[in-house]
Structure 1
Amino acid sequence: MKVIKFGGSSLASSEQLKKVIQIISDDPTRRCVVVSAPGKRNPADTKVTDLLIRYADCVIAGRDYQEIAQQIIGRYQEIALGFNFTPEDFAPIRRAILNLPLATYQDNTYLMAAFKAHGEKLNAQLIARVFNLVGIAAQYLDPSAAGLVVTDVPDDAQIKPDSYANLRKWQNNANVLVMPGFFGYNDRGEICTFSRGGSDITGAIMARGLNADLYENFTDVDAIYAVKPNLVSHPHAIGHMTFREMRELSYAGFSVFHDEALIPAIQGNIDVNVKNTNHPDAPGTIISARIQPSKEYPVRGVAASKNFCGLYISKYLLNKEVGFTRKVLDVLYKYNVSYEHMPSGIDDITIIMSEDNLTPDIEQAMMSELQTTIHPDEMHMIHDYAIVMVVGEGMRDTIGIMARAATAFARANIRLQMINQGASEISIMFGVAQNEADRAVSALYAEFFKQD
């Protein structure tokens, strides 16, 4: 049995949905379909989730929301009309959209979560109806009915482990299950969403919960590539990679997968196949627990993220001061700021953090408290910071990877601000200026994928 997930671009219009119908019809083992909200139909279009966020913002601010509500209705109506829905067929979706502001919410964060989740919820209801109209016996499965219970965090929920036992009951369902991605329900029955892009998480959760043989994730690319296609012409396609490689690359900026999305599949030891809705016969990319490393391509991929900053601290005899790092981390903990990496020298450290964790007020207060707590000789925040990573299972057994990477940077005249090798030895991280990140990725790709 296969669990299959379709992204927003695969479900953006009635024409795209017809491709989905064919994919489901072609393989009777595809028994659970997890869907995103309708995405962009063209580059100038707006995702339904973004429309729902605007809708919620209008409601919260007390502004008129009728126009935005009608835009959302229009997106679903375009899909429905492609399958000859009658006004009566479509009425429940229209009613659900218009009734969103009338419900009672604990606070505005729960209101926003409920509005956003309806992108997936209404799309799943619509698609289940379409499947039945075209002869695919299907049923809508709401996360509440499925027993998908999540933690009480409205915009960054985590699945509760007991949910997997609830999901297992749906293993042998007679109909194709159509499940909305992106959200679950807390113990009080309120909607809480995963972080943005969380439909991938739901797909992996269902694959593990249903003990699937394979989790197919359909998107709009033929494969996962060794580098972002917008940086390199005709990049190398990855046929097979490991979960560890995908996690490292997702963290560093690969947008094919949400960086938390693979965890349930990893825990369930379920292979993932990334495929293209528009070219379903293309083999795509298989992601699994193990792989025979490639001697030809010890580096599997290169990625960069510009969403980082670095807290530089220098103090003589820092290495002799017991508890110094703990004092620093205690201050970060007080301000709810997590750190990503901490390369260090004898007298200095750089604490690399996500920019998402900081606001100007938090940064100022945190720096002031650090000044009085650790009395540094020098301390400043580096905001012009990007992380570039090379990742590959074959790197661990290949001599000279670091030398080749450093040579590529030198050849491109890019200054390195930091180097850090991952503990697993399958990744090396480089810190560069943000405006150098794209050139750095291109330089590394040219070095490690010369044959292409």
Structure 2
Amino acid sequence: MKVVKFGGSSLASGEQFKKVARIVFSDKDRRIVVVSAPGKRSAEDIKTTDLLISLAKEVVGGKEYKGALELVIRRFADIVEELDLGIELLTGIENRLIELINMYRYDEDRLLDALKSSGENQNAKLVAAYFNKRGEEAHYVSPKEAGLLVTDAPGNARILPEAYEQLTKLRDRSGILVIPGFFGYSKVGNIVTFPRGGSDITGSIVAAGVEADLYENFTDVSSIYSVNPTLVENPHEMKEITYKEMRELSYSGFSVFHDEALQPVVNKKIPVRIKNTNDPDALGTKIVSDRVQEGFPVVGIASDEGFCSINLTKYLMNRQVGFGRHLLEILEREEISFEHTPSGIDNMSVIVRSHHLENGKEERILHRIRTELDVEDVDVERNLAMVMVVGEGMAKTVGVASRATTALSNAGVNIKMINQGSSEVSMMFGVDADKADLAVQSLYYAYFTPVNQ
């Protein structure tokens, strides 16, 4: 059995629906299909999810939302008309949206979750209807019917352990099952969306729940590249990559597959294959538990911006028992998670996302650090980017780090910090945000250009 997930670009129009149908029908093992909301048809287009968010804002603001609602309906109408699916489907979509608005009008968080998820939910119904029109037995299965139970925090759903037992029962269903991605239902019946990459998370959860042999994730690229293809010409394509490597790259800015979406399949060791809806015969990139380490020791290089560093200095800090714990407790009280904590004998830095220090949090944190930890100096360094060099082969290769530092030095990129985990799957370099692209380019050419060139 294969679980197949199609992203927004794969379902942006009626023509894309036809491609999806050909892909699914070509392999009888593709029995469960997870879908996103219709994405952009062109660069100037607006994603359905964004239209739904705008609709929610109009409702919450007490404004006349008829125009915003019509834009959403029009988006689905274009697909329905192109595929000749019948006006009753559009009537059902409009009635459901109005029902959700009336139900959650005075609860902004619940309204946003309910409307945001409608893109996936209604699109799944259209996909199932189109499959049936093409002569295949297909069934729309809501997350509630599937047993996709999640926690109740709006916009931050987490799968509950008991959901997997319910999802296993999907194996016994007949026909092709079409399930909307991005959301589940809490035990009290609320619609709750997953965070970023929500449909990928749903696909991964379903694949783990039914113990699929393969989770195929169809998007608009034929494989995962070792670097952002807008930064270098003809970038190296990854044919195979491990869960650990993909997790590091996703965290560092790779948008092909969100890092949170990996966890369910990792636990069951279900392989994932990234494929292209517009080029389904391309081999794609396979994500596996283990792979034979051959070729380049580095598989990918990525960067992400929007970081800042809280830098502390205190003489003999290393001898003060509980210093690090106390510092992290100060962040915990402000509900701030940290990214990295590089340290020395008398100094320590904590890397956090810049937006976490907004709304007065920075002032409160610095005040507590000065008064409770009695530091000699503390400051916040802004506009940082984290550049990640990833590859499980690095642990067994001599000179990987020196090649990186030499490349960055030759490119004129100042290294603000270096951090490497004990597993040696990745090396992280902190650089000024305006040098991030240059850093990535220099590192890519250092690792992926043959020695004789």
Q: Smaller-chain TM-score range?
A: over 0.9
- Whole-angstrom distance in 2 between the partners of 1:63 and 1:184: 29
Q: In the TM superposition, what is the alpha-carbon distance from 1:106 to its structure 2 partner?
A: 7.6
Aligned pairs for 1:232-243 (under 5 A) are 232-243=232-243
Structure 2 residue ranges without an equivalent (≥5): none
Partner of residue 166, structure 2? 166
> Is the 1:73–1:97 Cα contact (8 Å) retained in structure 2?
no
Distance 1:356 1:33, change over 3 A: farther
1:450 is displaced (CA, Å) by 0.3
* Separation of aligned partners in 2, 1:300 and 1:107: 46
Q: How does 1:219-258 map to 2 (within 5 A)?
A: 219-258=219-258
In structure 1, the partner of 2:434 is 435
Q: Secondary structure at the match of 1:365?
A: helix
Corresponding residue for 1:53? 53
Aligned-residue offset at 1:393: 1.2
Contact 1:2-1:212 within 8 A present in 2 as well: yes
Q: CA shift at 1:14, angstroms?
A: 0.6
State the Cα distance separating 1:373 from its structure 2 match. Answer: 1.1
Residues 5 and 216 in structure 2, CA contact (< 8 A), matched pair in contact too? yes
Residue in structure 1 matched with residue 123 of structure 2 by the alignment: 123
Deviation at 1:52, TM superposition (A): 0.7
Q: State the alpha-carbon separation in 1 of the partners of residues 110 and 99 from structure 2.
A: 15
Q: Distance in 1 between matches of 2:332 and 2:105?
A: 30
CA distance in 2, matches of 1:278, 1:375: 59
Taking the aligned partners of 1:35 and 1:300, their CA distance within structure 2 comes to 29
Amino acid at match of 1:350: S
CA distance in 1 between partners of 2:33 and 2:284 (Å): 18
How far does residue 94 in structure 1 lie from its aligned partner after superposition?
2.3
Query: 1:98 deviation in Å?
Result: 3.2
Q: How far did 1:29 drift?
A: 0.7
Whether 2:320 is the aligned partner of 1:329: answer: no
What is the match of residue 4 of structure 2?
A: 4
User: What is the SS of the residue equivalent to 2:241?
Assistant: strand
What's the counterpart of residue 401 of structure 2? 402
Which runs of structure 2 are paired with 1:28-107 in the superposition (5 Å)?
28-104=28-104, 107=107
Deviation at 1:105, TM superposition (A): 6.4
Q: Does 1:344 align with 2:343?
A: yes
CA distance in 2, matches of 1:114, 1:439: 42
The within-5 A match list for 1:275-286 is: 275-286=275-286
| 1:9-58 alpha-carbon deviations (Å, 9 max, x no partner) | 00111111110011011111100000001111111111111111111111
Q: Any stretches of 5+ residues in structure 1 without a counterpart?
A: none
Residue type of the alignment partner of 2:411: A
Take 2:56 and 2:363, find their aligned partners in 1: how far apart are those partners?
Answer: 31
Shift of 1:322: 1.6
Separation (CA, whole Å) in 2 of partners of 1:85 and 1:401:
57
Question: Could you tell me how far 1:104 is from its partner in structure 2?
Answer: 3.4
Structure 1 residue 100: deviation in Å?
A: 2.8
Determine the structure 2 residue equivalent to 1:213. Answer: 213
User: Hey, what does 1:199 align to over in structure 2?
Assistant: 199
What residue is the counterpart of 1:177 in the other structure? 177
1:148 maps to 148
Contact 2:218–2:275 (CA under 8 A) maintained in structure 1: yes
Alignment-derived partner of residue 383 in structure 2: 384
Establish whether residue 271 from structure 1 lines up as the match of residue 271 from structure 2: yes
Paired residue type of 2:174: A
Q: Does 1:366 align with 2:403?
A: no
Distance 1:46 1:167 in 2: 33
| Contact in 1 for aligned 2:85/2:129 (Cα 8 Å) | no
Structure 2 counterpart SS, 1:168: helix
CA distance in structure 1 between the aligned counterparts of 2:6 and 2:106, rounded to whole angstroms: 31
Q: CA deviation at 1:426?
A: 1.3
**Cα deviation, residue 276, structure 1:** 0.2
Contact 2:73 / 2:90 at 8 angstroms: preserved in 1? no
Q: 1:396, CA displacement in angstroms?
A: 0.7
Aligned to 1:318: 317
Q: Secondary structure at the match of 2:419?
A: strand
Asked if the contact 2:104/2:110 (under 8 Å) is kept, the reply is no
Deviation readout 1:345-379 (Å, 9 max, x if unpaired):
11110101122423141112221222211122111
Identity among equivalent positions (%) equals: 47
CA contact (8 A) 1:408 1:443 kept: yes
User: Offset at 1:86?
Assistant: 2.5
The farther-off stretch of 133-142 and 352-361 is: 352-361
Q: Deviations over 1:371-420 (max 9, x none)?
A: 21112211111121110011011111000000000110011010000011
User: TM-score, normalized by length of structure 2?
Assistant: 0.98
Paired residues in the alignment total 451
Q: State the Cα RMSD in Å.
A: 1.2
Mapped pair 1:303 → 2:302: yes
Could you tell me how far apart the structure 2 residues matched to 1:142 and 1:387 are? 39
Letter in 2 for 1:436: K
Shift of 1:125: 1.0
Q: TM-score, normalised by structure 1?
A: 0.98
Cα distance in 1 for residues equivalent to 2:407 and 2:119: 44
Task: Quote the Cα distance in structure 2 between the aligned partners of 1:123 and 1:86.
Answer: 14
SS of aligned partner of 1:260: helix
